[in-house]
Amino acid sequence: MNFKLGTSILIVAGLLAFCGPIWAHHGNSAYDEEHWITVSGTVTEFVWANPHCQIFLDVKGDKGAVVNWAIESQSPGILRRNSWARTSVKPGDQITISLAPAKNGAPVGFSGNKLGKIVFADGHTLKMDIR
């Protein structure tokens, strides 16, 4: 192996080792993506921010207690390509949302794939499909 080729391989290997974590992204292993559910309630907050928009929703439980759900969706760019805007979801909106719930039973979920959608009280729907 000549010096230039050897040096080039070392530089590329070093860059991959050093920069690899930059491309890393968290997975959805905390969510049960095999058993999607729907929850209905009142939006308390909608956060339009990278890397994922967040929807906070007060949901009345089976025993009447109100539980605040935190629901992760897609990035603003992906949602915008699906006809969303920063003002699409507002506090006070009554919605039903499909989501993959947390495996540990916490009131959090993920609604950012082809199954994810919001249905508003007036019947209009916003999808989160990334495809």
Q: Which domains does the chain have, with CATH numbers?
A: 37-127 (2.40.50.140)
Mean pLDDT of the chain: 85
What is residue 130's predicted lDDT score, i.e. its pLDDT?
66
Closest to 109 in 3D by CA, of 40, 55, 62: 55
- Residues 10-53 have pLDDT tens digits of 555 554 444 444 444 455 678 998 999 999 999 999 999 999 99
What is residue 61's predicted lDDT score, i.e. its pLDDT?
85
Tokens of 14: 């070093």
> CA-to-CA distance for 118 and 8, rounded, in angstroms?
51
DSSP 3-state of 76: helix
- Residues 49-90 have pLDDT tens digits of 999 999 999 999 888 999 999 999 999 999 999 999 999 999
* Secondary structure (DSSP) of 12-58: HHHHHHHHGGGG----STTB-TTS-EEEEEEEEEEE--SS--EEEEE
> CA-to-CA distance for 77 and 68, rounded, in angstroms?
26
Q: Which amino acid is at 57?
A: L
